[in-house]
Structure 1
Amino acid sequence: MRDLNDARAVVVYHPEKLHGPRWQRILTREEQRTDRAPSLWIPTQADEDPATLRNRLREAGALDADVLIAAGGDGTVRLTAEVAMLTGQSIGLWPVGSTNLFARNLELPALDPAAGLRAALGRTERLVDTMAVTAVLEDGTRVRRTSLVLAGFGVDAQMVVHTSDEAKAQFGWLAYVDGVRRGISRPDRFDVTYSLDGSTPQDARLLTLAVGNGGLLPAGLVLLPDARIDDGALDVLLLRPDGVRGWGDMASWFLKENGVVRRLMRRAGNRRPLRTGPSVQLFDAREVRLRLRHPEDFQLDGEYIGRAVALRAVVQHGTLRVRVPEPSR
């Protein structure tokens, strides 16, 4: 790795989330502290795809930068990560969004932008997995995206649907609490046929189906308790409560997984799984395929994608280099 004083960063930022001289002063101060060259600022554009952003970076002479720093919401982070995977550059996270979902699942300082910036401009990196997702929407459109955390139908999708941009701007991650409540309590189910790693397709009637590399939602809620962002596998959750007992089992599991004791156990490295029954099913796989009988709301990394009728998700092991804080001594 070249010396830091010869290196330059590129800040890929959302112009509506990062504007004004305050952010420039914060970055300049950190550049001076680490004796780095001034960074290049590249704003994102509406509905921009990774190839277009990569071309703009090339035109700006930014492909020799040692790190692409994503400064914005979850959409900006995912777009920057997709470009970094194309160019082979590292990604740093400057958490200025309302949820900072990827940062939270990496256990980065999601509520401390200055600490995130220090890590982004440092030397320590971590190789993590991503998820290649192809969704077929109800009008036949195929949507191909890279997911950094979690995609799904049901509770997580309804959380996104029922949380407005205005509420996120005003309340931050707390705005998602009501969306989670609505998703858990809704009476609707959806019929799905799914297959894991090419196995015999299974039919199910579900409240929620989630798949991903990370299981931490906004508001600190855990949906995929065993998910690890670098283990080469996707975690899959099926929620299928039936009757009073089924709802009780699901509620008990959800409350226990999100209780104080379990959180402390996970922080200490104890991930002993809780007992689950037919209402809560957890699997892991490298590939997930599914088809829905009727279109269902679908979210990916906190972004509403549309009403989908089919999905394919494949783990991409060790495909993204992320700057992280130096380990404490």
Structure 2
Amino acid sequence: MAGSSLLEMPRPTSFLYAMSLRTGVELIVLTILVNKITGFYGILALATGYHVSPLQLSMYIYSLVVLVLTVYLARYIRKQDPLRCLALAWLYAIDTVINAAYTAAFGVAWFLVLAQHPHESKPGDSPGGKMIGDTSGFTDPKYNVSKVDVVATPADGIATGQEAVAVGSTSDSSFPAAGLGSAVFQSGSIMSITIISALWAIRLYFVVIMLAYARAVLRQHIMMTSASQYTLHTGNPSDELAENPFAESREEGQGWPGKLGRAMVAVGREYWLGRDEDGEWMRGMGGKFRKSTSLDAVPGVHERERRRRSGTGPPAPPPTLPRPVSIDSIAESR
């Protein structure tokens, strides 16, 4: 279970140490909408006759699907719906993995193109670039060779001299690998890789924030709807796990929403339902969570209720007590 749980996941209580988790999630959702709307423009480009590869087309369609799901789930952030907030967090985490695969695929394809054209410069990149590319064999070679060998051949007739013939040849079989390495480690490529790595580090932090907010919403829901209404972990067979709000015996566990909720909580159960420092998970709720049942409760009521349920409380009083008899009532009876 340790391999599939999220025990080592960070559990932040604020966004950038300055804002609540809910505010951070709303800002992250805004970045998702801006990012995924590019799929809409990609589909529009197809209508104009622009040619795209199957990989690009699949990315555009996938972006539209994620855009629609994000718009639907985003309205439940303020409502703090546990199922929808969990779904939004998992959607963002899965989207991060899929985007990483797309980025790797496009990056490898780009570096392969650079390796196949190591000295090619695009015409028009700078003023006079086309003329330079046409006249300079080094910037835009007519023949793609790695070296030139000069071979002397005897001339016809009287041998008064020799002609020099240039013969182009490629290097050994390691040229493609060397070309790929030079394409990856050139200055422009290293800068691009550095920027992409920094952006992905920020993306991973956003994933942690999304999961932390969904966890806080889930635990708030458990606290408010717990069967015992005493602590977060009372009502569950295990003292180390909170009560699953999507259990089949509960109202939220009925139908396909219950199955979906149980599936999402099953991955990393210790993270979602495991014990935490008392009150730590409520810090990221923006001060919105106040349990009304605990504000007006009489001290000691919860403790007596807990002991009554566990059978460790004092013995119950007898069902009926003898009614007190006064002297006047005795005299009247005589």
Under a length normalisation based on structure 1, what TM-score does the superposition of the two structures give? Answer: 0.19
Name the structure with the higher helix share.
Answer: 2
Name the structure with the higher strand share.
Answer: 1
Under a length normalisation based on structure 2, what TM-score does the superposition of the two structures give? Answer: 0.19
**Structure label with greater radius of gyration:** 2
